[in-house]
Every structure is written in structure tokens, then in C-alpha cells.
A and B are shown apart, each in its own frame.
Chain A
């Protein structure tokens, strides 16, 4: 039997059994959260603790594992011979990354880590006969049909077309996430962009969630932060199983009283996600953001999905670079260009509401009626727009003048101005319908205010 025929058993959905024995013939049996398939004759186990199994393997290289198909529950026994431990290399890195992501999610980064990837030769693999009883009910099965493949390839073309057609960041990201839903069935997706100033990833576009734009994660934190730091794709099936395992270790460590552990970082997105894939958005070797997709199906993301999502992630990254250069060319002032006077104020409707915006200098954050609204550069932009409106009655603005305004703290190059404006627009749409920002053409936008606005600075 070829192991690749039973590749589903290696996705970590149902823990596997592992039996080993010491030099005196005393058996040991344990469950293993995931066995990693290397090729048709080799598998790897993650060594996270120097446990009994690990000590047994040094005395007796024979082991047996029982793995289970998550869709049918059928068991397979693999007779193994321990070959070696690897402490570096591509396989080690790939296994370590999954463990790091789970460790980071459970607040145990640096404590719960991969010590080695233990490599085994598979001497024999066999189906466990009569493991299941005959049942009249049809069993679920999963096949990739040719029609499905064709649909996905066609989907790739369509996604590329839509990304290439978009001439601003918001349209590009909305089109990409829409296409992932329509052509690939990924209903829960989001894109985060790296803010070079804060070294945090900020959610800039979401699909399938009731909000979430503006959510942030630091480089290295959680699954998404780990992907950003390592600049590698991470596909996590049976996510809950992995996190439960991590939480068991965390509880055990806290009980032992020898470790100080940070509070858990909440998983962004679906509260009941069973699988996830996160891809770095890269332009050459520069990280610009991340694309994340989640599913309630524990085996939603297969190798094939990873392959074409990588293509889409590349397209999105290139698209982001293209539209930001477009925006730069159109709105970045040349040294000799004289800045035109600000456009004349336009009439605004008579307001019927009153809102108080408060800027907290120490926190660099703007609050709306005592509720957090936005911080950092987008917060400062909002504060400038509202200030100009109050003192001069201005409602029309340009990207160019924002880039010239040193008080906003935009970096000289790669300022991500458009993504900061998108974030600001989303937050206002979500939290303050009476104050809105609308694009009025490339590099231009208008502030629309339908309320009395008070500004307080603290």
C-alpha cells in the first residue's frame, strides 16, 4: 500500500497511536497528534519533549503506529524503523512552524517548541481488516473531480483578470476575496497589510465575517503573525485538535508552576474554525501582508488548494504593489511642483446629531463618543480632516496634501496611504455613519459630515 493513497490520515484530524518498547521489552503506547508524511516509505514524528517514546527509540528502533482516515475512520497500521533525528532543514522548519503557530496561540512561544523531527522508514503499511463494521449508511468520501479542477483553473484566470483590472486597492481586495468565494468556495477570508511603522499587520479587507477590518496582529503572534515572520505558507487542518493539544501542554505547564505564560491571543476570525490557511503576501523578499482563509471543515484545505492560493496571493501582492505605485505617481508631489490652494468648501446638509471626537495624544488614538475608533496614522489623518473642517469648513482633500503634512508621520517611501484611508473609511462606516469619507477621483476624496462635531484634544 502506498502511503500517498492514505494521505488524509496524516492531516492530524484524528490522533494516531504509537507503540514503542524499551530494551527490556516493556511496551509503551501513546497518541500522537500528527504524523507527517514525507514520501511513500518515510514518515516523521515531532519530538517536543524528551519523553518515554523518545528514550525507547534510542534503545529499540522498532515502532508501530495506527493512523485513521478522518472521513471513514478506517485504521491503517504502519511498521516503522527509527532512522534519525533532524534538528534543521526544510522538514524540520515546516514541522516547527506549525508547532510555533500553536504555541504562539496558546501563549507558549519559546516554551512549547520542536526539539527534533524524528524520521522513520515505513517497513510495512497495511489496512486493519474488520476495523469497521458494515453499515448501510453511505460513507462520506472526497474526490477531486476533473470538473472541479477545471473550475479551479478557470477560477484562477478569473481572479487574475479581476485583480489586474482593479485600479485602486479597495476594489482589488474586494474583487480578490469575492472571487475566492465565488470560484473556490472560500467563504471566510481576509487580507492584512503590514504597517511598516508599527510592524503590525492590520486587517484591511474581510469577507464572510461580521466586521473585523482594523483588527491587528504583531509579527510573530499567533498563526498569522508566525506566517508573517517566517514568510512561509501555513496550512492547519484539524485546527481545534492542534490547539487543544497545545492547551493541554499549557495547563500542564501552569500546574507545574515553573513557567510564566502570557495570556492567550484570541484567534482572529471564525470562533469555531476547524482549518485555516495563511499565506504571506510577498513582493520579491519583502513582506507586504497576509492572506488568510478559514473553514469549519477540518480538512478544507488540501495541497492543491495551497498551490493555487499561493498563485492568488502572488497576484494580490503584485496588484497591491501596482496600485500603490499608481497612487504614488498620481499624487506624490515633485519637489518643484507648487501646491495648489485647498479646494473651496462645499455645502453640507444641516446636521441633526452631535458627536464628540476625542484625540488622546499619549495613546495616539481617536475616540468617538468615548468609544475607541482608530489610532496611529489613520487616527491622525482623521484628526486633521476634522480639524480643517471645523476651522476652515473644508470638505475636499487630496492624497497629495496628506503626504506633504509632516505632522501625520507618513513614511517617505511605501507610505501605504491608500490602505490607511481604506481602514479609516471602514471604521467610520462601521462606527459613525454621520461622518463619511468618499473618493472623488484618483488621489482625491471628500469628507461628508451629517452631524454637529465637537473636537476635544487630551
Chain B
């Protein structure tokens, strides 16, 4: 059941948020564009715009700790993934189409409840960093009394 819920977040049209922390314990956040998993959430790849992810990547180089929140913008259904960074690289050219598709799906989703699609399409998304994350914990983060319940 939990696994099914997780898989739905790979379909696109979702918000991707990343949280990291520096060596002094000061956290920062960054909006991501896409997320993918080829091994059923044992690990994930998060795509962050290179233009805005400098501080996040610097934090990962020192502390490696990462939190990734995925939210369905219409229903607010959300999960949060906590893990450790395996590696950070500039996303290869063949990932560009996937990232662009995910941005388009997000624009479509927000457009369905009134936010102009052209506005969402102006989000900087390429070049992107591909962050490889070993998943340690997954939590339900849908607002309400079950927020914080560990899904796996």
C-alpha cells in the first residue's frame, strides 16, 4: 500500500522541494523540477536547477544529509524522503527531455486550478544537477494528524 502511494509521486505533476543543512546546522531549501527512482525508492534521483541549487549542492558536499518533499499540489497529499547523498553530478544531456516533461506536467497541474501555465514554464530548469540519494526513511506529510507517520 505504502509502496503504491510512493509510486504515484513518480508520475509527474508534483511539487519537489529539497532541504539541506550546512556544517553549522543552518538549513536551506530549494525547489526541484523532477524526481525519479529506478529501484522502487531504495534510491531516488532529484533534479535541481543548476542556477539556483548552488547553496544546496555546497551543503551536500559537506553534510550529505537531504530531505526531499513531494506534494500533489491539488490535494496536498505529500511524502517526505530522508536520506544520504550518494553523488551529485550535472545531469547528462539525455535527461533533458525527462526534466522538461516533468516541468510541463507541473505547469499543466497548476494550470488546472488557475495558475497560468506560461508562468510555471518560466521556471529555470536546465542545466540541472542530478542528486543521487540513498533513501533511509519515508514519511507521510499530508497535512493533518497523520503527518509524520513513517511509511517505510
B80 contacts A by Cβ under 8 Å? yes
Pair B119/A73 contact, Cβ less than 8 Å: yes
Residues of B within 8 A of A52 (CB): 139, 147-148
Pair A25/B19 contact, Cβ less than 8 Å: no
B17 CB contact (under 8 Å) in A31, A48, A72: A31
Q: Which of A248-298 contact B (CB under 8 A)?
A: 248-253, 255-256, 258, 274, 298
Pair B71/A31 contact, Cβ less than 8 Å: yes
Q: Which of B52-82 contact A (CB under 8 A)?
A: 52, 63, 65-69, 71, 74-78, 80, 82
Known: A17-B17, A30-B69. A249 touches B122 (CB 8 A): no
Residues of B within 8 A of A160 (CB): none
A132 CB contact (under 8 Å) in B28, B29, B124: B124
Pair A27/B141 contact, Cβ less than 8 Å: no
| Chain A interfacial positions (CB closer than 8 Å to B) | 14-15, 17-21, 23, 25-31, 48-49, 51-52, 60, 62-66, 70, 72-73, 75, 77, 79, 128-133, 135, 137, 139, 240, 244-245, 247-253, 255-256, 258, 274, 298
- The CA of A251 and the CA of B74, in the complex, are separated in Å by 13
B1 contacts A by Cβ under 8 Å? no
B145 CB contact (under 8 Å) in A26, A28, A247, A253: A253
Nearest Cβ on chain B to A276's Cβ, whole angstroms: 15
Q: Mark B104-131, 1 if CB is under 8 A from A, else 0.
A: 0000000001110011101110000000
Total chain B interface residues with beta-carbon distance under 8 A: 48
B26 contacts A by Cβ under 8 Å? yes
B51 contacts A by Cβ under 8 Å? yes
A and B contact pairs by CB, cutoff 8 A, 16 listed? A15-B15, A21-B21, A21-B27, A26-B65, A28-B80, A31-B78, A52-B139, A64-B27, A66-B30, A66-B31, A129-B52, A130-B49, A240-B114, A251-B144, A253-B144, A253-B145
Known: A17-B31, A26-B65, A240-B113. A135 touches B122 (CB 8 A): yes
| Chain B interfacial positions (CB closer than 8 Å to A) | 15, 17-21, 25-31, 49, 51-52, 63, 65-69, 71, 74-78, 80, 82, 113-115, 118-120, 122-124, 139, 141-148
Pair B25/A25 contact, Cβ less than 8 Å: yes
Residues of A within 8 A of B76 (CB): 244-245, 247-248
Nearest Cβ on chain B to A203's Cβ, whole angstroms: 26
Pair B67/A248 contact, Cβ less than 8 Å: no
A49 CB contact (under 8 Å) in B66, B82, B145: B145
Pair A298/B67 contact, Cβ less than 8 Å: no
Nearest Cβ on chain B to A140's Cβ, whole angstroms: 8
Nearest Cβ on chain A to B123's Cβ, whole angstroms: 7
- The CA of A250 and the CA of B17, in the complex, are separated in Å by 24
Closest B residue to A134 by beta carbon equals B122
- The CA of A247 and the CA of B72, in the complex, are separated in Å by 13
Pair B27/A49 contact, Cβ less than 8 Å: no
- The CA of A49 and the CA of B149, in the complex, are separated in Å by 13
Pair B29/A64 contact, Cβ less than 8 Å: yes
Pair A132/B123 contact, Cβ less than 8 Å: yes
Known: A17-B31, A49-B145, A240-B113. A28 touches B67 (CB 8 A): yes
- The CA of A65 and the CA of B31, in the complex, are separated in Å by 11
- The CA of A131 and the CA of B30, in the complex, are separated in Å by 10
Main secondary structure of the interface of A (DSSP, over half): mixed
Residues of A within 8 A of B80 (CB): 28-30
Closest A residue to B139 by beta carbon equals A52
A17 CB contact (under 8 Å) in B20, B29, B143, B146: B29
Closest B residue to A68 by beta carbon equals B31
- The CA of A27 and the CA of B27, in the complex, are separated in Å by 6
Closest A residue to B77 by beta carbon equals A248
Pair B115/A14 contact, Cβ less than 8 Å: yes
Pair B122/A245 contact, Cβ less than 8 Å: no
- The CA of A177 and the CA of B26, in the complex, are separated in Å by 52
Closest A residue to B64 by beta carbon equals A25
Residues of A within 8 A of B82 (CB): 26
Nearest Cβ on chain B to A112's Cβ, whole angstroms: 8
Pair A129/B51 contact, Cβ less than 8 Å: yes
Pair B27/A20 contact, Cβ less than 8 Å: yes
Residues of A within 8 A of B65 (CB): 25-27
Pair B143/A245 contact, Cβ less than 8 Å: yes
Nearest Cβ on chain B to A237's Cβ, whole angstroms: 12
Pair A29/B63 contact, Cβ less than 8 Å: no
Closest B residue to A13 by beta carbon equals B115
Nearest Cβ on chain B to A151's Cβ, whole angstroms: 27
Pair A64/B51 contact, Cβ less than 8 Å: no
A52-B147, A75-B52, A252-B143 are known; give 19 further A-B pairs, CB within 8 A.
A14-B115, A18-B29, A19-B29, A19-B67, A21-B25, A27-B65, A29-B19, A29-B80, A30-B69, A30-B141, A77-B29, A129-B51, A129-B52, A133-B124, A137-B118, A240-B114, A245-B76, A248-B75, A253-B145
Closest A residue to B24 by beta carbon equals A62
Known: A19-B27, A65-B29, A75-B31. A27 touches B113 (CB 8 A): no
Residues of B within 8 A of A244 (CB): 74-76
Pair A51/B52 contact, Cβ less than 8 Å: no
- The CA of A211 and the CA of B51, in the complex, are separated in Å by 52
Residues of B within 8 A of A19 (CB): 19-21, 27-29, 67
